[in-house]
A and B are shown apart, each in its own frame.
Chain A
Amino acid sequence: MTEQSETYSATAEVGAVRKRRTRAERAWLLLKSAPPSAWFGMVVVCLYILVAIFADVIAPYGEAQIHPVPFAPWGGDFMFGTDQIGRDVLTRLIYGARNTMGIALATTFLSFLIGGGLGLVAAINRSWLDQLLSRMVDVLMAIPSLIFALMLLSIFGSSVTSLIMIIAVLDSTRVFRLTRSVAVNVAVMDYVEVAKLRGEGLGWIMRREILPNIMPPLVAEFGLRFCFVFLTIAALSFLGVGIQPPTADWGSMVRENASLIQFAKYDLTAAITPLLPAAAIALLTVAVNFIVDWFLHKTSGLRDDR
Chain B
Amino acid sequence: MTADPNQPGAPGDILLEMRDVRIDGFSDERWHPIIKGVDLTLRRGEVLGLIGESGAGKSTLGKAAMGYTQPGCKIVGGTIRFDGIDLVKARDAEKRKLWGTRIAYVAQSAAASFNPAHRLIDQTVEAATRRGIRPDADSRADAVELFRQLQLPNPETIGNRYPHQVSGGQLQRVMTAMAMSPRPDLIIFDEPTTALDVTTQVEVLAAMRSIVDEFNTAAIYITHDLAVVAQMADTIKVLRFGEEVEEAPTRDMLERPKETYTRSLWSVRALEKPEVKSEDIVLSIDHVDAAYGPFKVLHDVTISIPRGRTVAVVGESGSGKSTTARVITGLLRPEVGSVSFNGEPLPASLKDRSKDQLQRIQMIYQMADTAMNPRQTVFDIIARPLEFYLGLKGKAREDRVVELLKMIELDESFMDRLPSELSGGQKQRICIARALAANPEVIICDEVTSALDQIVQEGILKLLLRLQKEFNITYLFITHDIATVKAISDEIVVMHRGRVVEQGLKSEILSPPFPDYTRLLLSSVPEMDPDWLTDLLAGRESRDPA
A and B: bona fide binding partners: yes
Q: Does A303 contact B (CB under 8 A)?
A: yes
Looking across the interface, which residue of chain A has its beta carbon closest to that of B411? A11
Q: Is the CB of A10 within 8 A of B426?
A: yes
Chain A residues with CB under 8 Å of B455's CB are 8
Q: Which of A6, A9, A193 contacts B260 (CB 8 A)?
A: A6
Chain B residues with CB under 8 Å of A190's CB are 365, 367, 370-371
Q: Does A15 contact B (CB under 8 A)?
A: yes
Q: Select the stretch in A194-202, A263-271, A285-293 that faces chain B.
A: A194-202
User: Within the complex, what minimum Cβ distance (angstroms) separates B471 from chain A?
Assistant: 19
Q: Select the stretch in B169-177, B226-234, B417-425, B535-543 that faces chain A.
A: B417-425
Complex formed: what's the CA distance from A44 to B29 in Å? 29
Given contacts A11-B411, A17-B421, A191-B371, contact A6 B261 (CB under 8 A): yes
Chain B contact residue count (CB 8 A cutoff): 54
Chain A interface SS verdict (over half): loop
User: Within the complex, what minimum Cβ distance (angstroms) separates A191 from chain B?
Assistant: 5
Chain A residues with CB under 8 Å of B7's CB are none
Q: Which of A14, A15, A191 contacts B370 (CB 8 A)?
A: A191
Q: Does A213 contact B (CB under 8 A)?
A: yes
User: Within the complex, what minimum Cβ distance (angstroms) separates B331 from chain A?
Assistant: 7
8 A Cβ contacts from B415-462 to A? 416, 420-426, 429, 434, 438, 455-456, 458-459
Q: Is the CB of A10 within 8 A of B429?
A: yes
Looking across the interface, which residue of chain A has its beta carbon closest to that of B438? A198
Chain A residues with CB under 8 Å of B426's CB are 10, 13, 15
Complex formed: what's the CA distance from A209 to B388 in Å? 15
User: Within the complex, what minimum Cβ distance (angstroms) separates A263 from chain B?
Assistant: 57
User: Within the complex, what minimum Cβ distance (angstroms) separates A21 from chain B?
Assistant: 9
8 A Cβ contacts from B391-413 to A? 408-411
Q: Does A300 contact B (CB under 8 A)?
A: no
Q: Is the CB of B373 within 8 A of A197?
A: no
Q: Is the CB of B388 within 8 A of A198?
A: yes
Complex formed: what's the CA distance from A18 to B410 in Å? 18
User: Within the complex, what minimum Cβ distance (angstroms) separates A208 from chain B?
Assistant: 8
Q: Is the CB of A7 within 8 A of B373?
A: no
Q: Does B285 contact A (CB under 8 A)?
A: no
Complex interface bits, A11-47 against B, C-beta within 8 A gives 1, otherwise 0: 1011111111000000001000000000000000000
Q: Is the CB of A13 within 8 A of B423?
A: yes
8 A Cβ contacts from B289-333 to A? 329-331
Chain A residues with CB under 8 Å of B463's CB are 10
Q: Which of B72, B371, B408 contacts A303 (CB 8 A)?
A: B72
Complex formed: what's the CA distance from A4 to B458 in Å? 18
Chain A residues with CB under 8 Å of B362's CB are 197
Given contacts A15-B423, A198-B384, A199-B355, contact A29 B29 (CB under 8 A): yes
**Number of residue pairs across A and B with beta carbons under 8 Å?**
95
Q: Which of B29, B264, B388, B410 contacts A6 (CB 8 A)?
A: B264
User: Within the complex, what minimum Cβ distance (angstroms) separates B453 from chain A?
Assistant: 10
Q: Which of B365, B370, B388, B434 contacts A200 (CB 8 A)?
A: B388
Given contacts A15-B423, A189-B370, contact A199 B358 (CB under 8 A): yes
Q: Is the CB of B409 within 8 A of A9?
A: yes
Chain B residues with CB under 8 Å of A8's CB are 264, 455-456, 458-459
Chain B residues with CB under 8 Å of A213's CB are 373-375
User: Within the complex, what minimum Cβ distance (angstroms) separates A123 from chain B?
Assistant: 16
Q: Does B514 contact A (CB under 8 A)?
A: no
Complex formed: what's the CA distance from A4 to B434 in Å? 28
Q: Does B532 contact A (CB under 8 A)?
A: no
Chain A contact residue count (CB 8 A cutoff): 33
Chain B residues with CB under 8 Å of A194's CB are 363, 365, 371, 434
Q: Which of B264, B410, B438 contacts A11 (CB 8 A)?
A: B410
Q: Is the CB of A197 within 8 A of B384?
A: no
Chain A residues with CB under 8 Å of B388's CB are 198-200
Chain A residues with CB under 8 Å of B5's CB are none
User: Within the complex, what minimum Cβ distance (angstroms) separates B181 from chain A?
Assistant: 29
Complex interface bits, A164-205 against B, C-beta within 8 A gives 1, otherwise 0: 000000000000000000000000011101101111100000
Chain B residues with CB under 8 Å of A10's CB are 408-410, 425-426, 429, 459, 463
Q: Which of A9, A11, A190, A212 has the most CB of B within 10 A?
A: A190
Q: Is the CB of A197 within 8 A of B331?
A: yes
Complex formed: what's the CA distance from A303 to B26 in Å? 12
Q: Which of B72, B363, B422, B425 contacts A306 (CB 8 A)?
A: B72
Q: Is the CB of A191 within 8 A of B372?
A: yes
Complex formed: what's the CA distance from A147 to B78 in Å? 69
8 A Cβ contacts from B1-48 to A? 26-29
Q: Is the CB of B27 within 8 A of A16?
A: yes
Complex formed: what's the CA distance from A144 to B349 in Å? 43
Complex formed: what's the CA distance from A8 to B260 in Å? 11
Q: Does B350 contact A (CB under 8 A)?
A: yes
Chain B residues with CB under 8 Å of A17's CB are 421
Chain B residues with CB under 8 Å of A13's CB are 423-426, 456
Q: Is the CB of B28 within 8 A of A18?
A: yes
User: Within the complex, what minimum Cβ distance (angstroms) separates A214 from chain B?
Assistant: 10
Q: Is the CB of A191 within 8 A of B459?
A: no
Q: Does B162 contact A (CB under 8 A)?
A: no
Q: Which of A7, A14, A198 contacts B423 (CB 8 A)?
A: A14
Chain B residues with CB under 8 Å of A199's CB are 353, 355, 358, 388
Looking across the interface, which residue of chain A has its beta carbon closest to that of B416? A20
Looking across the interface, which residue of chain A has its beta carbon closest to that of B375? A212
Complex interface bits, B351-367 against A, C-beta within 8 A gives 1, otherwise 0: 00101001000110101
Q: Does B168 contact A (CB under 8 A)?
A: no
Q: Is the CB of B355 within 8 A of A193?
A: no
Q: Does B99 contact A (CB under 8 A)?
A: no
User: Within the complex, what minimum Cβ distance (angstroms) separates A14 from chain B?
Assistant: 6
Chain B residues with CB under 8 Å of A197's CB are 329-331, 350, 358, 362-363
Chain A residues with CB under 8 Å of B458's CB are 8
Looking across the interface, which residue of chain B has its beta carbon closest to that of A18? B28
Q: Does B266 contact A (CB under 8 A)?
A: no
User: Within the complex, what minimum Cβ distance (angstroms) separates B95 from chain A?
Assistant: 15
Complex formed: what's the CA distance from A191 to B384 in Å? 13
Chain A residues with CB under 8 Å of B504's CB are none
Q: Does B385 contact A (CB under 8 A)?
A: yes
A-side residues, CB < 8 A to B, are: 4, 6-11, 13-20, 29, 189-191, 193-194, 196-200, 208-209, 212-213, 303, 305-306
11 more contacts with CB within 8 A, not counting A8-B459, A197-B363, A303-B71, are A8-B456, A8-B458, A9-B409, A10-B459, A14-B423, A17-B421, A194-B365, A197-B358, A199-B355, A212-B373, A213-B374
Pairs across A and B, CB under 8 Å, 21 listed:
A8-B456, A9-B409, A10-B409, A10-B426, A10-B459, A15-B421, A15-B422, A18-B421, A190-B365, A190-B367, A190-B371, A191-B370, A191-B371, A191-B372, A191-B373, A194-B371, A197-B331, A197-B362, A200-B388, A213-B374, A305-B71
B-side residues, CB < 8 A to A, are: 26-29, 55, 71-72, 240-241, 260-261, 264, 329-331, 350, 353, 355, 358, 362-363, 365, 367, 370-376, 384-385, 388-389, 408-411, 416, 420-426, 429, 434, 438, 455-456, 458-459, 463
